[in-house]
Amino acid sequence: MTEYSKLPAEEPWRIFRIMAEFVEGFEELAHVGPAVSIFGSAREEPGSKYYDLAVQTAYEVGKAGFSVITGGGGGIMEAANKGARKAGVKSIGLNIELPQEQLPNKYQTMSLHFRYFFCRKVMFLKYAHGFIAMPGGFGTMDEYFEALVLIQTLKQAYFPVICMGSEFWGGLIDWIKTVMLDHGNYIDPEDLNVFAVSDDPKEAARIIKDFHQSNGRGGIQQPPGIRQPTDGQ
């Protein structure tokens, strides 16, 4: 046996930590009912344009009968949990351990803690009946495109994916259409049906509610179209 084939003593135990995170997540979230995952930057300050938009969006989603799931931290995550609390629905935070400590926000009614990003992302997607991406950075983009990939490849029951804030998302959506689709043919036209762009919290909640009433949890197939973004969005 070479030195490269020897596993450090702690490596096998990592498997049990991963299993524990999955088991806890499944047990805690399996009974929350219809829920919407909301993502966005941790750097937005209270009172900013997108912080307030996240509060109102989560509030409307809660009024429509959905629990709200966030990453549990500050900024947009805090705002979404705040809106959920205001609406009187379950306000769930999936907190992550980071080298620069993430402090759980005070608006959570259910808090889970994760060491591994991939375990946490499974929980965001597995129990979502809708997905709202607020403005954010690399983490938000990772979560947004992960949802699109799983729906596109039929690995995830499809559900509405809504980009809130046309000013923020407009350039990326244009690039997806003109470069990924028209220039490179790297995606199919039908792939554009998976997401929508909106600036209106009530519209976002209505899209998710209408889809849920018509399709339930969704299905393992490409949707015929949730709602096409209008020109200019």
Least confident of 2-16, 38-52, 121-135, 196-210: 2-16
Residue 144 pLDDT greater than 60, yes or no: yes
pLDDT at res. 222: 52
Cβ density class 47-70: b for 16+ within 10 Å, e for less: ebebbebbbbbbbbbbbbbbbbbb
Looking at 3.30.565.10, 3.30.479.30, 2.130.10.10, 3.40.50.450, the CATH number of the domain 15-215 comes to: 3.40.50.450
Chain segment 183-233, per-residue pLDDT in tens: 878 998 888 888 999 999 999 999 999 988 887 665 545 555 544 444 443
Chain segment 155-181, per-residue pLDDT in tens: 777 789 999 999 999 999 999 999 999
pLDDT-based confidence at residue 5 (cuts at 50, 70, 90):
low
What are the sequence ranges of the domains in the chain?
15-215
- Please state, in angstroms and rounded to a whole number, the distance separating the CA atoms of residues 107 and 69: 12
- Helix (H/G/I), strand (E/B), else coil: 42: coil
- Residue for token pair 């979560």: 143
Instruction: Read off the pLDDT of each residue in 24-43 and give the average, rounded to a whole number.
Output: 92
- Please state, in angstroms and rounded to a whole number, the distance separating the CA atoms of residues 81 and 107: 5
